[in-house]
Structure 1
Amino acid sequence: MTFRFPGSLVNRALRSRLLTAQQYRATTASQRLQQTWIASSNYRQYNSSSSSSYNRSSDRDRDARRIGHVGEKHFKRRHDNRRQVQDAKTRESHDILMAIASGSLTGQYNSQLESSASKALDPEAAETEDLENDPYDYEDGESEAQENGVPEDQTSKEQDVEAEIEADSADGEVPENTNFRGPLGGMPKLTPKIINEELKWLNDPRKMADRVARILHSGNPALAAALVRAGTKQGLRCDVAWNHLLQYCMDQNHPQAAFKFYNDMKKRGRRPTPRTYTIMLKGFSSAPRSLGVAKTAASVYRSIGLPNSGVKLDIIHTNAMLTVCHRHWDMDRLWKIAGELPEEGPGAPDATTYTIILNAVQFAARRDIEKMSPDEMEKILERKAQVITEGKRIWADVIWRWKNQTLKIDNELVNGMASLLLEGGSDIDCYNVMELYKQTMGIPILQKRPTENEKTTRRRITPEQTQALEVSEATRQSQMEDVPFVDENNRPIQSLEPAVELEQDLREEVEELEIEKEEEVEEEEEEDFTELFKPVVPQSEELSFLEPNSKELTLILNACFTMTQGSEGGQAYWKHMTLEDHEYRIDPDTFTYIQYFRLLRISRSSKIAVSTMREQMVPSGQATGTAFHVALSVCRRDRRNHSVLNHANELVGLMDKALILPDIRILEGYLETIQILSSNPSTLLYLRGLDTEDSTSTKTTRLHEMGRKLQAKLRLSAIATLRPYILQLHEAMENGKPESKTRWSALQNTLSDSVAGPAAVKIMSRVRLVVDDTLKLDYKAYVSKVERKALDADSKMLKKYSDKDVIAAFKQKRVYPTIEQKEEARERIKKFQWEARNSRNQAGSN
């Protein structure tokens, strides 16, 4: 009698799915292996390390703030150690995948053994494999054995064993080997029984693909590769399963392993599908930068057009290949592939093709300019002019095809051209950006056209011009009266034939220079771009304007920011596109708001910055600490404005309507603004926001008393503005605790709800200095008893944050708000947004 556990996994599976014994053994075969021999924990560690980029970035920010305390060498050594550990993990996972792709399940990859096996399987494919097999220049098996401390005789024995294993390992069968004791020799092996049990229930291509996808998701590429190879050997259609395997290698950032699987698939008689080529080319574009990657991708791309490929070359494949050339800095190959595209038909370039080319041209110019010295200004300007000319040539082709309705443009293409124009940096280039958006989206030009005066530009005299001047001077001398000359021995000069011959040669060179200049002028006339951005849509009823969004407004503001006098035009664009009622009114995102504040900082428009924050950004829920920081810098630049204190106080007060805890940068920037105003007595005299009613009637002999009173009022106003946020930080530092990190909490905590501990202690100490300075005897006559009592309480509360033990306690901590603070902040923010939305609707209806 067999005893059964009533709640066991076996009984539940047998009762629910009514599986037979053979079915149950087949479905649980992979579970009994415990991830087989591939050390799946390494893959999980690699995945977790690659997916935790946010945590690493926060660590880097925290380390950057602590460099001043510990020292730069310590953190440089620490980052080097992290990089070495990460490189070691990546290299280990690469070696494992390469071993699986090569069919060698011993855990060590031998390039020589693989090349010989490849030539034996497919001689034609092996001709090009020597060139394309190793685009990353990985070391061979001998160097790896030396690094691991393996003797040469043992390495040769292992190679002999691997040669015996190759025949069976290609089908997933690995016999047990007691002689090999490599780094992965003690792990369980895949057996033919396991593979056959799996294949019994995978007779459908869809089932095979789903099963391989689940196995790869669980981190077991060895079993997945064995299933795909065995299924291909039995004649099953495993095209989708092969694609899953290739995509897995590309997602793990191991394109060389994917390329080996790709070659293995072809050697087994399976032709790549269009999706296969797309996976390979897109994966190569995300690989680490190397010219070898572009070369390998080009071989895959060229194989699509072969007669026996069975796949028709599509523009999707071309765009993927162009992306590889762009990201791997192979501009020669990019222009070669782009030049082979037909002008019409299915393979003609689309909007994505032109976008990729424009981005590649733009970033190539950036790389060239970064290599130049700042002193080489003429070369830099020449390179910028060159990239603008190349971009306009491409855009001329785009407009011509758009007019003829053979190309459908999109926002990405237009934004790519706008970004390229901004690389020029001149006023006319920025104005062309506005003409571009009028041409494609119908946005009116609200900026005055900059003046162009090419005649006044500085021109350097070239060697050709110098030679022409010498020729003209020789001609003038030859036309003078013939006067007999004598040499140093008082003998007459008999002939001037050499001079005549020289004059004739010089005239011929002048004529050649004039012909070359005429040809250059003709070329310039052919490339006249004055009407390149002329409107197109009103002339054609079939065409329509694109719909702008926040990104287009950001680029327009960037153009106004770059222009010499573009601040007024930028404000006009903002009002037109965000406040006026028309078809393409947009809701800006956070980055667009920040760019607008940077534009307002140039014109010192603190009042407009505060009104924009109060009426638009905070009610829309887009306000962040960075946006408040940039907006406050507008007030700091506008310090000569008599109302700048009121604007700064209102801006800091709005932070309570958008953030749970205050941003430390804003508090520090506000204190810096107060310090700047305090150091300018002439500004304090007319500053609004201070109680200085009796200051104007003060006699001249008591100017020092007037100054003390103004200084006292300024400090009291600053402390009153900062007091609510200091109390919030104090409560959070005393009682705040981090919440448990769950998936739901990560989705809910969209607002910035924590600040750095060292920064919080620092701002508390700085505020305490302001409080103690206000309590001095110099300002005693201008501080009331109620205010002094409140200042004493503040000083006592902040005194603890100057203690060295408290500073050390918060050195490596973050300050989190309490639960009550979070609930109050969310209610406060929702209420303010609701009131602002209602007031805007009422104003619109009126």
Structure 2
Amino acid sequence: MTGEKTSRKLRHAVKKHLEHMHNSFTIAKHVERTLRKNPERFEETLLLVQTASKDHGCTVAWNHLIDHQLQSQRLRAAVRLFNDMKKRSQRPDAHTYTVLFRGFALSPHRELAVAEAVRLFRGMRRQPGVKPNIIHLNAVLHVCARAGDIDTMFALVDEVLHDGADGGRSAANKKDKLVPTAQTYTAILQGLRSWALAPEADAEGSSSPADVDGRTEEMVEHSRAVWEEVLRSWRGGSLALDEQLAGAMGRNLLLDKKTGPRDVLVLLEQTMGIPRFDTQGSTRTKTKPDQETDNNQPPPPAASKSRKKAASEPAKPGLNTLSLVLATLAEMRFVTAAVKYWDYLVRDRGVEPDDKLWEQMIRLLHLGRSSAETARLLATAPPTVQSPYLFRTALSACFRDLRNPNVVDNASTIVDVMLRGAGAGVGESGGHRVPDAKALWMYLEVPQRRARVEASLNGNNATETGVDVGQSVELVNRVWEPYCRASKAALFPQLVEARNPRLIKNAKMYGAVCEVVELARELLSLTAHIARAGYKIDTKTRRVMEKRRDSFNREVVIFTELREELEDMWGKKEEESDVKEPTRE
């Protein structure tokens, strides 16, 4: 009874809506708006479109319904809608098939998605009506690529792009032959990569390293063969090369550990005119498209026709290119070259790195123990990409560069950047307002570790902090105000005054408090060192340091008393490493 009542209400609502909709455009707009704002009203919109289909051509509205089901990971339901659409004499258009194919690529049921995509595509070729275009083919190839089904992918390529199933004998087949674009080759290369990275399991449910290596070698060989075809088309002016295609080939080459990394840099020089900075004596002279960049694979000669000339122009580098370069140079451990590539792409070619690329670059500099370049580059980072993780990684690079006599100055530069960003009043989505307590602790550690390393190099034994009183005073004064801000943001002063653990509402807050306490302990150690040598400083400074020492000591003692109860509430705070280590050390 309840279902019948709901059905009556739906029909009544649909009838009322249709009284105000007199054409397919208003119906489609209503369906799109309703599904976007109230997806739970899908059944109502479906009934509305089914009812309106009796009097109107509602192809666009059906497209919205199908797309909604695919975005919701309901592949079978989307196919049923497509069939229902045709049964109601609603003719699918070219966009209907594009929606289907692109939606199939999102499905977790990849084998089913490939089967349905290929079935529909071949049906388009055989049946009258909408004929497949290159956008449809690229979308189907992307479905195969996501599934790593290279057999089906290459079968479709041979069928459509080459001679076809009948060897290219029929006139219809020649007429329907499609011209591949950069997106076509990108999908093929991505499919090869997916296949190589997700090998089939053996009988025992796992794959041996030899099987993985064999697939990788085969994938690289196939990729090089595809790339030869790309170069022929590019040189002939029939293919416009883009960053995505060059990047896909570069990612495939990078899996070849022997020659792949250098081949990637040759590829970028060839396709984008990016000069080589990984070789001795390299300069920053830009490579022109008509200059030979590699003995075996020169760039395309200047084309005579304007269309061909435009097609054979070098691709424009972007974020994907910079990420590929950094990954390649990390594999080669060429940190100095990475800095040159970064400067060239950012300053000369106008690439604007996002936060992930900044993190990738700082990790690479951390790998190369380059605190000076880390400080220099970080000083140019916009507030929108600055994050606690970025500063921790940068200061961790200082930990790895303690033999550098300028490492303390480099750490100071990094902290200056953090404090400028914290005091700039930037929004929540652009930087951070509160100084990071963990980064401040790392900053205080740098001069102490440097002093111990220096003493060790000189054959001396460094004790306590290892820094002199004057430097300790300078460090405490420098960190005092940021410490107060970080402490206040973590509610640490309130916790100390109230001695009430229930002020800490979740594990994240407890973690922030623990980081502030570690910083307080470090400052307590420094102020205690200053107090023991108070005769070396003036009376006013000594009293200030003693007052701060007592404050740090009180806060640490009270936290220690509350710690057991806090750990019972939120679990023991695990010790974290200073930075996520790069994949290769």
Q: State whether TM-score is above 0.5.
A: yes
Q: Which residue of 2 aligns with 1:256?
A: 76
Q: Report matched runs for 1:479-558 at 5 Å.
A: 533-537=297-301, 542=309, 543-558=312-327
Distance 2:326 2:189 in 1: 21
Distance 2:357 2:103 in 1: 32
Q: Given that residues 510 and 570 in structure 2 are in contact (C-alpha distance below 8 angstroms), is that contact kept between their aligned partners in structure 1?
A: yes
- Displacement, 1:370? 9.6
Q: Which residue of 2 aligns with 1:132?
A: none
Distance 2:332 2:194 in 1: 22
1:243 and 2:63 are equivalent in the alignment: yes
- Displacement, 1:192? 5.8
Q: Given that residues 315 and 346 in structure 1 are in contact (C-alpha distance below 8 angstroms), is that contact kept between their aligned partners in structure 2?
A: no
- Displacement, 1:354? 0.8
Q: Which residue of 2 aligns with 1:728?
A: 485
- Unaligned runs of 5+ residues in structure 2 are 163-173, 281-293, 423-432, 495-505, 572-585
- Displacement, 1:606? 0.8
- Displacement, 1:670? 3.8
Q: Which residue of 1 aligns with 2:330?
A: 561
**Which residue, out of 247, 267, 271, partners 1:436?**
267
**Which residue, out of 419, 430, 438, partners 1:656?**
419
Q: Which residue of 1 aligns with 2:360?
A: 595
Distance 1:717 1:537 in 2: 62
Q: Report matched runs for 1:638-657 at 5 Å.
A: 638-657=401-420
1:266 and 2:86 are equivalent in the alignment: yes
Q: Given that residues 242 and 316 in structure 2 are in contact (C-alpha distance below 8 angstroms), is that contact kept between their aligned partners in structure 1?
A: no
Q: Which residue of 2 aligns with 1:317?
A: 136
Q: Which residue of 1 aligns with 2:226?
A: 394
What per-residue deviation string (whole Å, max 9, x for no partner) do you get for residues 459-478 of structure 1? Answer: xxxxxxxxxxxxxxxxxxxx
Q: Closer, same or farther in 2 for the Cα pair 1:538/1:214, shift >3 Å? A: closer
**Which residue, out of 396, 400, 403, partners 1:637?**
400
Distance 1:195 1:807 in 2: 59
Q: Closer, same or farther in 2 for the Cα pair 1:648/1:354, shift >3 Å? A: same
**Which residue, out of 695, 700, 710, partners 2:466?**
710
Which residue identity lines up with residue 353 of structure 1 in the other structure? T
**Which residue, out of 491, 505, 520, partners 1:768?**
520
Q: Given that residues 517 and 556 in structure 2 are in contact (C-alpha distance below 8 angstroms), is that contact kept between their aligned partners in structure 1?
A: yes
Distance 2:226 2:465 in 1: 66
Distance 1:788 1:642 in 2: 31
Q: Report matched runs for 1:119-138 at 5 Å.
A: none
Q: Given that residues 345 and 351 in structure 2 are in contact (C-alpha distance below 8 angstroms), is that contact kept between their aligned partners in structure 1?
A: yes
Q: Closer, same or farther in 2 for the Cα pair 1:197/1:447, shift >3 Å? A: closer
**Which residue, out of 110, 115, 121, partners 1:301?**
121
Q: Given that residues 441 and 522 in structure 2 are in contact (C-alpha distance below 8 angstroms), is that contact kept between their aligned partners in structure 1?
A: no
The count of corresponding residues between Structure 1 and Structure 2 is 511
Distance 1:734 1:196 in 2: 58
Q: Given that residues 617 and 623 in structure 1 are in contact (C-alpha distance below 8 angstroms), is that contact kept between their aligned partners in structure 2?
A: yes
Which residue identity lines up with residue 344 of structure 2 in the other structure? H
Which residue identity lines up with residue 28 of structure 2 in the other structure? A
1:330 and 2:93 are equivalent in the alignment: no
Which residue identity lines up with residue 723 of structure 1 in the other structure? W
Distance 2:207 2:64 in 1: 52
Q: Closer, same or farther in 2 for the Cα pair 1:806/1:761, shift >3 Å? A: farther
Q: Which runs of 4+ in 1 moved over 6 A?
A: 369-375, 809-813
**Which residue, out of 534, 538, 552, partners 1:794?**
552
Distance 1:435 1:627 in 2: 30
Q: Report matched runs for 1:163-242 at 5 Å.
A: 178=1, 184=3, 187=6, 189-190=8-9, 195-217=14-36, 218=38, 219-232=40-53, 234-242=54-62
Q: Closer, same or farther in 2 for the Cα pair 1:399/1:802, shift >3 Å? A: same
Q: Given that residues 606 and 638 in structure 1 are in contact (C-alpha distance below 8 angstroms), is that contact kept between their aligned partners in structure 2?
A: yes
Q: Given that residues 438 and 444 in structure 1 are in contact (C-alpha distance below 8 angstroms), is that contact kept between their aligned partners in structure 2?
A: yes
- Unaligned runs of 5+ residues in structure 1 are 1-177, 450-529, 687-702, 738-753, 814-846
Which stretch of the first structure deviates more once superposed, 714-723 or 241-250?
714-723
Q: Closer, same or farther in 2 for the Cα pair 1:628/1:533, shift >3 Å? A: farther
What per-residue deviation string (whole Å, max 9, x for no partner) do you get for residues 269-315 of structure 1? Answer: 3221111111111111112233123212222222211233x001111
Distance 1:554 1:323 in 2: 22
- Displacement, 1:255? 2.1
- Displacement, 1:809? 10
Q: Given that residues 32 and 61 in structure 2 are in contact (C-alpha distance below 8 angstroms), is that contact kept between their aligned partners in structure 1?
A: yes
Which residue identity lines up with residue 346 of structure 2 in the other structure? T
- Displacement, 1:261? 1.3
- Displacement, 1:533? 3.7
- Displacement, 1:723? 2.4
Q: Closer, same or farther in 2 for the Cα pair 1:807/1:578, shift >3 Å? A: farther
Distance 2:31 2:213 in 1: 55
Q: Given that residues 366 and 400 in structure 2 are in contact (C-alpha distance below 8 angstroms), is that contact kept between their aligned partners in structure 1?
A: yes
- Displacement, 1:656? 0.8
Q: Given that residues 628 and 655 in structure 1 are in contact (C-alpha distance below 8 angstroms), is that contact kept between their aligned partners in structure 2?
A: yes
1:412 and 2:244 are equivalent in the alignment: yes
Q: Given that residues 624 and 658 in structure 1 are in contact (C-alpha distance below 8 angstroms), is that contact kept between their aligned partners in structure 2?
A: no
Q: Which residue of 2 aligns with 1:79?
A: none
- Displacement, 1:401? 0.7
Q: Which residue of 2 aligns with 1:282?
A: 102
RMSD of equivalent CA atoms: 3.7
- Displacement, 1:562? 1.0
Distance 1:629 1:568 in 2: 21
Q: Given that residues 284 and 297 in structure 1 are in contact (C-alpha distance below 8 angstroms), is that contact kept between their aligned partners in structure 2?
A: yes
Q: Scaled by the length of structure 1, what TM-score is found?
A: 0.54
Distance 1:766 1:281 in 2: 54
Distance 1:196 1:799 in 2: 72
Q: Report matched runs for 1:800-815 at 5 Å.
A: 800-804=558-562, 808=566
Which residue identity lines up with residue 710 of structure 1 in the other structure? G
**Which residue, out of 362, 365, 370, partners 2:196?**
365
Distance 1:645 1:341 in 2: 63
Distance 2:208 2:118 in 1: 36
Q: Closer, same or farther in 2 for the Cα pair 1:380/1:283, shift >3 Å? A: closer
Distance 2:304 2:393 in 1: 44
Q: Which residue of 2 aligns with 1:607?
A: 372
Distance 1:195 1:240 in 2: 18
Q: Closer, same or farther in 2 for the Cα pair 1:255/1:608, shift >3 Å? A: same
Distance 1:380 1:657 in 2: 48
- Displacement, 1:609? 1.1
Identity of aligned residues (%): 23
Q: Quick check: which has more Rg, 1 or 2? A: 1
Q: Scaled by the length of structure 2, what TM-score is found?
A: 0.77
Q: Which residue of 1 aligns with 2:291?
A: none
- Displacement, 1:369? 9.4
Distance 2:450 2:436 in 1: 22
Secondary structure of 2:8's partner?
coil
Q: Closer, same or farther in 2 for the Cα pair 1:642/1:798, shift >3 Å? A: same
Which stretch of the first structure deviates more once superposed, 718-727 or 325-334?
718-727
- Displacement, 1:685? 6.0
Q: Closer, same or farther in 2 for the Cα pair 1:399/1:723, shift >3 Å? A: same
Q: Given that residues 228 and 241 in structure 1 are in contact (C-alpha distance below 8 angstroms), is that contact kept between their aligned partners in structure 2?
A: yes
Q: Given that residues 305 and 312 in structure 1 are in contact (C-alpha distance below 8 angstroms), is that contact kept between their aligned partners in structure 2?
A: yes
Distance 1:382 1:318 in 2: 29
- Displacement, 1:683? 4.7
Q: Closer, same or farther in 2 for the Cα pair 1:733/1:684, shift >3 Å? A: farther
